[in-house]
Amino acid sequence: MILKWSNIDKMESFHISYLLYSEGKSIEIISKIRNIPHKEVEKHIIEGKIKYSEFKKNDRLINIISMEKSKRVSYLNNLSEEEIQSLTEEIYKRYIKFKNPEDRMILIWLIGEIKDEKLVPFLKMELKSKNVNFRRLACSALGKIGKVEYKEILEGLFEDKNPQVKQYAIKSLRKIGDNNTISLLEHILQDTREKDYVKRAAKEVISEIKDTKSS
């Protein structure tokens, strides 16, 4: 059956959830629209992916995305170097095919866990996204990779209009920040308009950068 709203009378429950998902709606939004629990929506989406998407049931990347976070972490920790390289290639080839925001957020998180610089261009792309969650998670992923060459990119995000993105950018500099970072963070501390949690992050990171330099 072709999934389109004109066929709604013929659809099963999971069809409707998956069609909403394919239009880019989050699990939370679908749950509210349909007045069903998150877990049920998640099951519907997995069923829809298996049945209707280009991905198949034995698709490793889809399986990883569909896992609960704790299982996903455990799975990654048990991968060999060769398996990690293979997963990196899968993400590299297929990243832009994942249009749903929640899938994309998990992929950004995966890049931070894998720490392969081949995938950094996707993070740079997401730092320009209108989606706040993409930007903040991309900051976090760059911080996990922890290379000094990304320091200026993260410092540039101190000007982001969203305070959460700014907070994530600040925290991501704890290992790669320098005296210039400290100077920028001190300006944030002096800004009376700044959110308290952003200032707390700035204080913590200033302290950590100074401790690193003195050790």
Domain residue ranges of the chain, discontinuous segments joined by +: 1-53, 57-145, 149-215
Give percent above pLDDT 70 in the chain: 94
Query: Does the predicted model carry a pTM greater than 0.85?
Result: no
d(CA 104, CA 70): 18
Give the pLDDT confidence score for residue 205 in this predicted structure: 96
Which of the four CATH numbers 1.25.10, 3.30.1310, 1.10.10, 2.40.50 does domain 57-145 have? Answer: 1.25.10
Helices (H), 78-195: 81-94, 101-114, 120-126, 132-145, 151-156, 163-171, 179-190
Give the pLDDT confidence score for residue 49 in this predicted structure: 75
Q: What is the pLDDT of residues 106-161, one digit of tens each?
A: 999 999 999 999 999 999 999 999 999 999 999 999 999 999 999 999 999 999 99
Looking at CATH, the fold of the domain delimited by 149-215 is given as Leucine-rich Repeat Variant (1.25.10)
Asked whether the beta carbons of 64 and 110 are under 8 A apart, the reply is yes
Q: What is the pLDDT of residues 156-205, one digit of tens each?
A: 999 999 999 999 999 999 999 999 999 999 999 999 999 999 999 999 99
Topology agreement, domain 57-145 and domain 149-215: yes
Give the pLDDT confidence score for residue 67 in this predicted structure: 84
